[in-house]
Structure 1
Amino acid sequence: MNKKKTARSLALMVLGQIFEEGAYSNLALHQALKASSLSEKDKGLVTELVYGTVMRKITLEWYLAHVIEDRNKLDSWVYHLLMLSLYQILYLDKIPNHAIVNEAVELAKKGRGVDKFVNAILRKLIDNERPDITTIKRKNKRFSVQYSLPVWLVKKLIDEYGEERAIKIFESLLIRNKASVRVVNSQNVEVLKEEMQAELSLLSDVGLVKPSGHFAGTNAFIEGRITIQDESSQLVAPTLNLQGDEVVLDACAAPGGKTAHIASYLTTGTVIALDLYEHKLALIEQNADRIGVADKVVTKKLDARKVFQDFGADVFDKILVDAPCSGIGLLRRKPDIKYSKEAADFETLQQIQLEILDNVCQSLKKGGIITYSTCTIVAEENYQVVEAFLAKHPNFTQVRLEHKRKDILQDGCILITPELYGSDGFFISQFQRIS
């Protein structure tokens, strides 16, 4: 087998883990590449094939439904192979169609007679005129197929943002995410910009971005001068307006990017980082250690809904609740999320988000602030949580957040949708205890 086939067979294996076993695309891919001896170029191809196929799944399935009579009669790996091959035919210009078909037929030989079937289906898709998505009559269904989003999510985002802005969001989710990092010492931004041949972030004063790149392999990363963090997520810690001597709670801290960012502002203060799992606490510690702030970070295994029972009243100067959420703002980076969620999840998550806020707010000192953030862009997890919290807690008031980019400010909160700056979708709000 030559290397290209190996790249495709690895991509096929990872797709099986994602679609059949519910593995997370980023984790499954990372593990497969780590264990593989492929060249960097071939690893890049595997990444492209896996993310591209997962990202465009609904579109690919729609085309395949026109040439496959009964999908349920196919072994799942055969169907994944057809999706993988069709993704290349439709979206990758550099690989000629005959090569794509040949490689697919080779991979199909592990099943008896499957190679002829795969060859016939792919030939049909190449030689005949393909069906036209624009002829789909129902608008939400058409957008669903065109942008590979579930119909319920299409409807949700149109209801929330209006059709024009929603379509811009849909389009932006099909663009591969940028590589972005936070510069640990703000005085080194210009130096590192040159060293990494990167651009300054339009959102974060300490952010650098590139269209793509493997920052984790650089000397700057190994030496702890940069850390990998999306530019929208870099806006959270600065809202806490830290003076250096505070006791801060990071209530839902893993993997620790924001914990480390908070710690970088502290001199005599401490940030207590909570998570439910030991292995995630270890990640927080590694992250803090690598960038030299471990002496400011204390980790603790605890459910954020039990903070008051564990710590008592009036303990923290400032609290960050970067709440568990649907992750709808991360679809560009974790495209499999859109197939595992449903609209009902928002209500369940809102309940958890409010339970966390209700509990941690009892451990905040008078005059202290809570920053509440999520990586989602739906109102149930954002504005509705803000309203519900304030309605229930008259001893808190909303703090209106500011930013130099006025298009991300709404109702005193920061709301970044993915199309605005090509970043993750993100929401940040803040409350202050007044009595």
Structure 2
Amino acid sequence: MTKTNLKNSSRYIAVTILEKIEKNHSFSNLLLSEAVNNHQLSDKDRGLLTELVYGVIQNKLLLDYQLEPFIKQPKKVENWVKQLLRLSLYQMTQLDKVPTHASVNEAVRIAKARGHKGISGFVNGVLRSIDRQGVRSPEDITDPVTYLSIKHSYPKWIIELLIEEVGKEETEKIAQSLSKRAKVSLRVNTTMKAMDDVIEQLGQEGFKVRKSEIAKDGLICENGLPVQSDLFEKGIITVQDESSMLVAEAMQIEGTDKILDACAAPGGKTTHMATYLNESEGAIVAVDLHENKLGKIHENAERLGVSGLIETQVLDARKITEVFASQTFDKILVDAPCSGLGLMRRKPDIRYQKSIEDVFSLQKVQLDILNNVAPLLKKGGRLLYSTCTITLKENNEVIETFLRDNTDFKVEPVFTHKGVVQLSKEGYVNLYPHYFDTDGFFIASLIKQK
């Protein structure tokens, strides 16, 4: 393999991406998309690249634990060399299809291409030693927090918080579930085409799909992503996780409703809600703090055929009373900024980029938004609060604090069409990822009393 060809290989590109993620806190999904666009990779190589990047991130702490005995001076190891060793060890221990000798030889070639003879010798020595001696097991760790942290590669603060909130057994189930590959879930706009007809057409196009267990408009695609289908181009299907589809269901929208979507970008829930509205009577005001993100809402709304129902505004939801009068809206959605820990299956790097301090600072933002949008809701109207995180601090505790300070609101049990998702004793949706292999999600429904 020539040096040019090597630089276009999945493993070489993966090392570069992993280096950028750790150095710049870049998002893995964006770097992967960029790499796929910049390199002519076969479907097989594209799949390997994704597997390597996500696999290393999802197993980083375990890989470091296993590498540690073989590296005498870890602080002297350059970032890219560390990524190369992690990637190679991941292949050796967790990818059966890649022979060990192939992983080692490729790593040595990359080390020679990027570094010098000394680095390639070091990489070769570490990996050959691992091949001879094997790696240590986290089962030897006696401290339960450290054990779960290393075994499943989550920072200790996440493990500690989850154990405090849901117990050790549930914490391990959550950690295991978030290490699985994310399902491809599609939302069907059934106002444009019947669900069964969509299933039939996708089947004819070679896709194996089944109905979502929890979401009325959801499909699970088990072999690929049908974005080249004319169903996608015509806006009949779009990519959206099943958990977030429950939001529009829970809003219980009437055709003439005027709705505020207070933290709207990128617009998946906005466009879903719009499908429930009458073209000439209903309306959604979608606001977001970031103007560039509102462009994504326009783009999605155009493709999905609902742009006439959605008005966008660049606005901080915490200052929304300066723009709208009290009791303007029939329904309000606050899909609040959050730690995003429920998305770690799709965005595994989140776990290393957040801290417990972020959770507490986000609590304040979430409450500020709720308190500021509350006056804009008509009496008898519904305020829905949702997040894509799994911490009670950002979910249940935020709602409890809001209700304590806003006695004109009361909780109602969250409505879902299929009724499969079990509600908490308070009537909330605390959807942990291992329940249905979805993103982790939270929904609370509040009514403003008359």
Please list the CA deviations of residues 208-235 of structure 1 after superposition, one character each: whole Å capped at 9, or x if unmatched: 1134522333332122110110000000
Q: CA deviation at 1:4?
A: 9.4
Q: Which amino acid aligns with 1:218?
A: S
| Number of residue equivalences | 435
Q: State the partner residue of 2:76.
A: 73
Q: Which amino acid aligns with 2:405?
A: K
Q: State the partner residue of 1:412.
A: 427
1-side partners of 2:447 and 2:107: how far apart? 59
For the pair 1:252 / 2:263, whether they are aligned, the reply is: yes
2-side partners of 1:227 and 1:98: how far apart? 42
Name the SS for the 1:381 alignment partner: coil
Q: State the partner residue of 1:432.
A: 447
Match of 2:156 among 142, 151, 173: 151
For the pair 1:94 / 2:97, whether they are aligned, the reply is: yes
Does the C-alpha gap of structure 1 residues 405 and 4 become closer, same or farther in structure 2, counting only changes over 3 Å?
Answer: farther
Does the C-alpha gap of structure 1 residues 35 and 182 become closer, same or farther in structure 2, counting only changes over 3 Å?
Answer: same
For the pair 1:306 / 2:319, whether they are aligned, the reply is: yes
2-side partners of 1:260 and 1:59: how far apart? 40
Q: State the partner residue of 2:180.
A: 175
2-side partners of 1:249 and 1:425: how far apart? 24
Q: Which amino acid aligns with 1:227?
A: T
2-side partners of 1:152 and 1:169: how far apart? 15
Q: CA deviation at 1:75?
A: 1.1
Q: Which amino acid aligns with 1:197?
A: K
Q: State the partner residue of 2:394.
A: 381
Please list the CA deviations of residues 189-212 of structure 1 after superposition, one character each: whole Å capped at 9, or x if unmatched: 222223132111111011011345
C-alpha contact (below 8 Å) 2:332/2:382 kept by paired residues: yes
1-side partners of 2:48 and 2:233: how far apart? 25
Name the SS for the 2:447 alignment partner: strand
Higher alpha-carbon deviation: 105-114 or 419-428: 105-114
2-side partners of 1:391 and 1:77: how far apart? 51
Q: CA deviation at 1:47?
A: 0.7
For the pair 1:30 / 2:33, whether they are aligned, the reply is: yes
2-side partners of 1:212 and 1:306: how far apart? 45
Name the SS for the 2:443 alignment partner: strand
2-side partners of 1:97 and 1:193: how far apart? 42
For the pair 1:190 / 2:205, whether they are aligned, the reply is: no
2-side partners of 1:278 and 1:34: how far apart? 25
Q: For residues 191-230 of structure 1, what are the structure 2 equivalents within 5 Å?
A: 191-194=197-200, 195=202, 196-211=207-222, 213-230=224-241
Name the SS for the 2:238 alignment partner: strand
Name the SS for the 1:255 alignment partner: coil
Q: Which amino acid aligns with 1:137?
A: T
Q: State the partner residue of 1:421.
A: 436
Q: CA deviation at 1:413?
A: 0.7
Structure 1: stretches of 5+ with no match in the other structure: none
Q: CA deviation at 1:406?
A: 4.5
Structure 2: stretches of 5+ with no match in the other structure: none
2-side partners of 1:22 and 1:234: how far apart? 29
C-alpha contact (below 8 Å) 2:413/2:423 kept by paired residues: no
2-side partners of 1:432 and 1:400: how far apart? 10
Name the SS for the 2:14 alignment partner: helix
Higher alpha-carbon deviation: 148-157 or 191-200: 191-200
Match of 2:285 among 256, 272, 285: 272
Name the SS for the 2:70 alignment partner: coil
C-alpha contact (below 8 Å) 2:288/2:294 kept by paired residues: yes
C-alpha contact (below 8 Å) 1:240/1:369 kept by paired residues: yes
Q: State the partner residue of 1:117.
A: 122
C-alpha contact (below 8 Å) 1:55/1:148 kept by paired residues: yes
Q: State the partner residue of 2:249.
A: 238
Name the SS for the 1:232 alignment partner: helix
Q: State the partner residue of 1:323.
A: 336
Q: CA deviation at 1:5?
A: 6.1
For the pair 1:392 / 2:405, whether they are aligned, the reply is: yes
For the pair 1:371 / 2:384, whether they are aligned, the reply is: yes
C-alpha contact (below 8 Å) 1:177/1:211 kept by paired residues: no
Q: Which amino acid aligns with 2:380?
A: G
Name the SS for the 1:66 alignment partner: helix
Match of 1:334 among 347, 359, 363: 347
2-side partners of 1:222 and 1:121: how far apart? 50
Name the SS for the 1:182 alignment partner: strand
C-alpha contact (below 8 Å) 1:402/1:409 kept by paired residues: no
C-alpha contact (below 8 Å) 1:4/1:42 kept by paired residues: no
Please list the CA deviations of residues 128-167 of structure 1 after superposition, one character each: whole Å capped at 9, or x if unmatched: 1321211112111011111111111111111211222221
Does the C-alpha gap of structure 1 residues 131 and 84 become closer, same or farther in structure 2, counting only changes over 3 Å?
Answer: same
1-side partners of 2:103 and 2:411: how far apart? 56
Q: For residues 3-14 of structure 1, what are the structure 2 equivalents within 5 Å?
A: 6-14=9-17
Higher alpha-carbon deviation: 306-315 or 185-194: 185-194
1-side partners of 2:74 and 2:65: how far apart? 12
Q: State the partner residue of 1:53.
A: 56
1-side partners of 2:166 and 2:49: how far apart? 35
Q: For residues 284-299 of structure 1, what are the structure 2 equivalents within 5 Å?
A: 284-299=297-312
Q: Which amino acid aligns with 2:439?
A: D
Q: For residues 335-374 of structure 1, what are the structure 2 equivalents within 5 Å?
A: 335-374=348-387
2-side partners of 1:175 and 1:151: how far apart? 20
Match of 1:127 among 116, 128, 132: 132
2-side partners of 1:25 and 1:387: how far apart? 35
Name the SS for the 2:422 alignment partner: helix
2-side partners of 1:210 and 1:12: how far apart? 30
